[in-house]
Amino acid sequence: MTTILPVRRRTRRRPALWALLLPFVVMFLLFFVAPIVYAIVQSTLATRSSGLGFGPPETTFVLLDNYVRALTDPAFVASLGRLLAFSGILVPLMVVTALGLALLLDTGRARAPRFFRVLAFAPYGVPGVIATLLWGFLYIPATSPVLQVLSAVGIDVVPLASGTVLFAIANIALWGFAGYNMVILLAALDAIPGELREAARMDGASMWSITWHIKLPLVRPSVILVTVFTIIGTLQLFVEPLVLQPLTTAISSTYTPNLAAYNQAFSQGNPNLAAAMAVIVAVLGFAFSFGFLRLVNRKGNRAW
């Protein structure tokens, strides 16, 4: 008897199940799977001309040629390296800053915590292009009051020189997203049951040990989430270099893989190579995100 019931219920539910799933499945296939398949298909094709190039071109199947071309192009490989360096700079900086801000606001001793929460979050509301334009003005000696003051006291900083431009971009990203990540972490901190803190305090735990032994382990999933988001975000680096490009000699048209793909697709008329570059970036994104998740999960709760 007890074994028959679920079976009957399942058969009855099936049409409803599919009806409810259908909108999602259709949208998912149409707007998520199909573009990926399309990009992969495009990345295996190439258009070839002959002679002077003025006859109608032919589209041919070239399998992995575009991938080989992208990965043997020193400029594209350099852009991948640059991206890794950028991730190396930004990810730790982002997580530590967001966590630091969240913990400060969560101490209970902070004054006007709501005000500061909004203040830290506000840059997230500024569109990336506008933010980069604003920082662009601050990075150029001719228009930056900050650099002018520094220069007046004998400190010459050139944020957009080739050695510093990656940090300049990281600074813009940090300014824009640290507040957003802070809010995620604050929500996690808020969710920690009050009894736990109280019990710890009763046992004589200091502020530091509460932070270290109670708060941090309990917000660990959120920290991982923020880290993965930041990794994915850094791999998509595009707007900042695009907008800063005219202001400096240090940013080329292949500065990041996304910028290189964009230029191939929209300025150099080679959407097939662009598709291959895009797939490479996507694969890297998967590899890093899942690699990171595996790493933290294997170490269990003792990650820190």
Q: Which residues bind other proteins (CB under 8 A)?
A: 47-57, 69, 75, 137, 140-143, 162, 246-247, 249-250, 252-254, 263, 265-269
CA distance 86 to 79: 10
CB of 183 to other proteins, least distance (A): 34
Distance CA(9)–CA(94), nearest Å, equals 49
Nearer to other proteins, 143 or 209 (CB): 143
Residue 13 CA to residue 5 CA, distance in Å, equals 12
Q: Cβ 52 to other proteins, closest distance in Å? A: 5
Residue 166 Cβ vs other proteins, minimum distance, rounded to whole Å: 14
Indicate the pairing of strand 58-61 with strand 45-48: antiparallel
Shorter beta-carbon distance to other proteins: residue 194 or 246: 246
Minimum CB separation of residue 30 from other proteins in Å reads: 18
Residue with Cβ nearer other proteins (166 or 226)? 166
**CA dist 8 → 4, 15, 30, 125, 205 (Å):** 6, 13, 33, 51, 56
- Cβ distance to other proteins smaller for residue 266 or 304: 266
Question: Is residue 111 packed enough to be buried (19+ CB in 10 Å), middle (13-18) or exposed (0-12)?
Answer: exposed
- Please give the DSSP secondary-structure letter assigned to residue 212: I
Task: Specify the residue, 49 or 209, whose C-beta has the smaller distance to other proteins.
Answer: 49
| Minimum distance of other proteins from residue 169's CB (angstroms) | 16
Strand-pairing partners, residue 47, are 59
